[in-house]
């Protein structure tokens, strides 16, 4: 008599609990990681968007979405229900990622057998890179969940033979694209594979295709109408594709990774503005967001068309970076976070293992089951994304669950051959595994640019851990003497410790390295202000604003400097500009409001 725990439902529940326990343990051990409490780049954008939506603004922001918006709306819902803390988001993502392991078990069981599904579910439950992403305020975990749900629904819909399920599949696909736009490539793949694998009648293919694409058009129309309401432009998806394409493929970046050109700053919102400004400068006329994206897309294709010799280098770097065991960071570094949490030595499967067993496993599966083609689709979507844009750990994560299902198939086949006492087949599988594994673990590791160390130092600073911040910033300044951001950060630490003259020296050093660094000029002006040199502060901060006129905090500091030299009207006006431009959570808004009231009272008294 079989144990009831061997039934699929109970096995799935045990795998869920295992995944939940491991992710919870990783979360607890990551408590000392300051980066978890210092949102950067995409994280800060999505958190701000979620706050706006939770506060009642259904449009989110007064511009076209330049990043995939659905994650911001999910955050808005979480913030509205559980409050604005990030811990609730992380807990929900841990639970969701644990459920992802169960969905992988289900798909593996559906396309192959229960043993393969169990092996795949266990592998994902113990895959520590997924632990890392479940703690970040990024869409990765949600994208994987929606992609797995899409594949599960697809396996059902292609067998149902009815139009209604195709309509609901289209709704799901549209939501998936609004969560991660590069998954749009799955749409034509789905239609083509349905025709190729199932060979439906032409009439059925057309009806199902219309239902599928029509449902997507319904959702996309809502997004396009929203964009039109706030900008006057009909934009169906986000507008960052041209910027990302050029950043990944330009004469100064053949690395295959994301790296903004010299005229742009790294933060997504700042980068978007910089690209917009540069496109208008080059074209010599105002451009809308679609025009800007189209301009940079055209610049990318022109570069590749006139320099075809760089294409092999780009492709080689992108593909090698994608199959390498190293997790290429974009927002955060997995390696750094794993070291801080102390789990870098946990003997759990790495990407090299998943790749080395997953590829031959899927190849073996394709020889026997046509359903395996549906698992290849997401992997192809990731490869297309990487080839067009850039390689990163975050981009390849959606392919991992399907490679893991391939691992389950490979394990099942290996044991099947062993039971049948076959020798050549399992030996061939082992040799293929070892070749791919060695190739992956010896893949290229990008040369450090200092970004990981900079954000770690800045995170320590933001939490008031000045000795740790200073240690990391000095190391960065010594290792990367041509980067202004480390002296700028050292100046910020000195300001926080009220060592204002030292802050002046650090910012002067940063200004020497990069004369156009607006932060160096602004912080130098702030240092002058705090040392009683208000006139110099005004001049220096105004120079900073010439390079970065949109930065809200510059208006606040300039207002303080103007107030210090007695220009009350100008100071009040600048405080007002700060309030217009700053985001609601920013800490100086109340002080600015109070300062306006005080200045207006003083001005009224002086007129009497």
> CB–CB of 293/243 below 8 Å?
yes
Give the pair of three-digit tokens for residue 95.
């639970």
590: number of Cβ within 10 Å? 9
Q: What is the pLDDT of residue 2?
A: 47
CB proximity list for 108: less than 8 A, separation 6 or greater = 116, 117, 118, 119, 120, 121, 405, 408, 409
In terms of Cα–Cα distance, which of 144, 33, 132, 47 is closest to 88? 47
Measured in degrees and rounded to the nearest 5, phi and psi for residue 465 equal -90, 75
pTM: predicted TM-score of the whole model, two decimal places = 0.90
Where exactly are the structural domains of the chain?
A: 4-234+324-441, 554-608
In this structure, are residues 161 and 204 in contact, taking their beta carbons and an 8 Å threshold? yes
Compute the C-alpha angle 311/317/322, nearest 5°. 125
- Tell me the β-bridge partners of 456: none
Angle of helix 114-125 versus helix 400-419 axis, rounded to 10: 130
Q: Residue written as tokens 């083509």?
A: 192
d(CA 396, CA 385): 9
> Can you tell me which residue has the tokens 């450090």?
448
Residues of the chain with pLDDT under 70: 1-6, 584-586, 603-608
Helix (H, G, I), strand (E, B) or coil at 253: strand
Residue 566 DSSP code: T
What is the C-alpha R_g of the chain?
A: 27
Residues 6+ apart with CB under 8 A from 518: 544, 545, 547, 548, 551, 554
How far is residue 342 CA from its own chain's centroid?
Answer: 24
Q: Report which of 386, 390, 461 is spatially closest to residue 40, judged by C-alpha positions.
A: 461
Residue 299: predicted pLDDT: 93
Residues 6 or more apart whose CB falls under 8 angstroms from that of 608 comprise none
Tell me which residue has tokens 């004469």. Answer: 251
CA 344 – CA 336 distance, rounded (Å): 9
pLDDT of residue 606: 65
- Two tokens, residue 326: 């190293």
Q: What pLDDT is attached to residue 382? A: 94
CA angle 522, 523, 526 (to 5 degrees): 90
Render pLDDT for 93-148 as a digit per residue (tens, 0 to 9).
Answer: 999 999 999 999 999 999 999 999 999 999 999 999 999 999 999 999 999 999 99
Task: Dig out the tokens for 48 from the structure.
Answer: 């701000």
Instruction: Render 387-421 in DSSP notation, one character per residue.
Output: HHS---HHHHGGGHHHHHHHHHHHHHHHHHHHHTT
| Residue whose pair of structure tokens reads 């520590």 in the numeric block | 128
Spatial distance between the Cα atoms of 197 and 183, rounded to a whole number of angstroms: 21
């Amino acid at each position: 008599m079989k144990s009831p725990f061997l039934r699929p439902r109970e096995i799935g529940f045990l795998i869920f609990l295992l995944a939940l326990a491991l992710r919870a343990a990783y979360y607890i051990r990551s408590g000392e990681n300051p980066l978890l409490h210092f949102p950067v780049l995409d994280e800060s954008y999505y958190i701000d968007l979620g706050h706006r939506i939770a506060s009642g603004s259904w449009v989110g922001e007064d511009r076209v979405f330049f990043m995939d918006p659905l994650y911001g709306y999910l955050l808005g819902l979480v913030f509205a229900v559980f409050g604005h803390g990030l811990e609730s988001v992380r807990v929900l993502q841990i639970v969701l990622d644990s459920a992802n392991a169960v969905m992988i078990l289900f798909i593996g069981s559906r396309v192959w057998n229960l043993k393969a599904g169990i092996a795949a579910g266990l592998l994902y439950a113990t895959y520590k890179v997924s632990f890392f992403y479940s703690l970040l305020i990024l869409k990765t975990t949600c994208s994987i969940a929606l992609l797995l749900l899409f594949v599960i629904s697809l396996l059902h819909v292609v067998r149902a033979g009815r139009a209604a399920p195709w309509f609901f599949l289209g709704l799901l696909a549209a939501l998936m694209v609004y969560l991660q736009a590069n998954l749009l490539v799955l749409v034509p793949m789905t239609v083509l594979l349905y025709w190729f694998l199932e060979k439906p009648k032409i009439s059925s293919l057309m009806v199902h295709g219309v239902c599928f694409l029509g449902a997507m058009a319904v959702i996309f129309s809502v997004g396009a109408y929203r964009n039109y309401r706030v900008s006057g432009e009909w934009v169906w998806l986000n507008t960052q594709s041209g910027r990302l394409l050029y950043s990944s493929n330009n004469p100064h970046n053949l690395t295959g990774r994301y790296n903004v050109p010299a005229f742009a700053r790294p933060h997504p919102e700042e980068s978007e503005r910089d690209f917009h400004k540069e496109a208008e400068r080059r074209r010599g006329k105002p451009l809308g967001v679609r025009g800007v994206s189209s301009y940079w897309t055209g610049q990318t294709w022109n570069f590749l068309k006139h320099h075809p010799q760089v294409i092999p280098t780009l492709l080689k770097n992108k593909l090698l970076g994608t199959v390498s065991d190293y997790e290429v960071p974009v927002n955060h570094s997995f390696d750094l976070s794993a070291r801080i949490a102390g789990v870098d030595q946990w003997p759990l499967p790495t990407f090299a293992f998943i790749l080395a067993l997953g590829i031959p496993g899927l190849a073996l599966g394709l020889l026997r089951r046509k359903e395996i083609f549906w698992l290849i689709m997401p992997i192809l979507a990731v490869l297309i994304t990487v080839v067009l844009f850039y390689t990163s750990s975050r981009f390849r994560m959606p392919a991992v669950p399907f490679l893991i299902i391939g691992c389950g198939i490979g394990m099942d086949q290996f044991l099947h051959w062993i039971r049948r006492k076959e020798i050549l087949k399992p030996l061939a599988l082992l040799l293929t595994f070892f070749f791919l594994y060695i190739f992956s673990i010896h893949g290229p590791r990008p040369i450090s640019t200092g970004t990981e160390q900079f954000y770690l130092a800045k995170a320590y600073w933001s939490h008031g851990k000045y000795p740790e911040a200073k240690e990391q910033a000095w190391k960065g300044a010594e290792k990367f003497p041509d980067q202004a951001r480390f002296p700028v950060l050292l100046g910020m630490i000195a300001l926080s410790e009220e060592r204002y003259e030292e802050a002046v020296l650090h910012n002067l050093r940063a200004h020497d390295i990069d004369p156009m660094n607006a932060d160096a000029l602004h912080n130098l002006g702030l240092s002058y202000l705090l040392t009683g040199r208000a006139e110099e502060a005004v001049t220096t901060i105004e120079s900073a604003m010439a390079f970065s006129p949109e930065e809200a905090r510059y208006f606040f500091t300039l207002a303080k400097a103007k107030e210090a030299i007695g220009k009350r009207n100008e100071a009040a006006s600048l405080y007002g500009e700060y309030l217009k431009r700053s985001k609601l959570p920013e800490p100086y808004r109340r002080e600015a409001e109070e300062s306006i009231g005080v200045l207006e009272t003083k001005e009224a008294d002086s007129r009497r």
